[in-house]
Amino acid sequence: MYISPNGTNATVVLDGSRSSDPDGDPLDYTWYELGITNPLASGVVTHAVLPVGTQQLLLVVSDGLVSNTNAVTVEVITTAHALERLVAMVNSAVARPQPLRATLKAALDLIGRDSAANQLLAFQNQVRARVAPFDPALVRISFGGLWMLLTL
């Protein structure tokens, strides 16, 4: 999942580095959007700009004689949608989620303004104080999404 910094698209990393050839032959990597014949990108690790939404991509790996294809789903969401997902996570996994939810709602209301980052930092501090002592795994999941939002 990628978060769109502008609400319309995001630059995503396409990584085919786990592909290999049993003979050790050099490989060519070509990325396609499902149903589109023109390549989206090429290379073992490359970047592509994708619109908000769910995209089905195909990675075609070839050694020149034989090729294989793997389907990949990439989701690009808006910053607001990412915050809504964090709210849902807080609601489902945290006892007495109201203070955390209120801070996230304030950040959601401020999307597009510099003060949204301050609200997200306040949420991060609240999670550290209220959730970390009881559920460190949830904190790692929440912060994973939060770091993506804070770096936009």
CA separation for the pair 68, 34 (Å, rounded): 15
Stated pTM of the model: 0.67
**3-class SS at 76?**
strand
What is residue 113's predicted lDDT score, i.e. its pLDDT?
63
Cα→Cα distances 50→29, 40, 85, Å:
18, 10, 20
Q: Which two tokens stand for residue 27?
A: 């490989």
What is residue 134's predicted lDDT score, i.e. its pLDDT?
62
Beta bridge partners of 32: 58
User: What top-level class would CATH report for the domain 2-78?
Assistant: mainly beta
Closest CA to 100 of 113, 92, 147: 92
Domain boundaries, the chain: 2-78, 79-150
Q: Which two tokens stand for residue 138?
A: 């949830």
What is residue 135's predicted lDDT score, i.e. its pLDDT?
61
Instruction: Return the DSSP state at 43.
Output: S
pLDDT, mean of each 10-residue run, the chain (152 residues):
86 92 92 95 95 96 93 89 77 72 72 66 70 60 47 40
Percentages helix, strand, coil for the chain, rounded to the nearest 5?
Answer: 40, 30, 30
Q: Is 142 exposed, middle or buried (0-12, 13-18, 19+ CB in 10 A)?
A: buried
Buried b vs exposed e over 80-95: b needs ≥16 C-beta within 10 Å? Answer: bbbbeebbebbeeebe
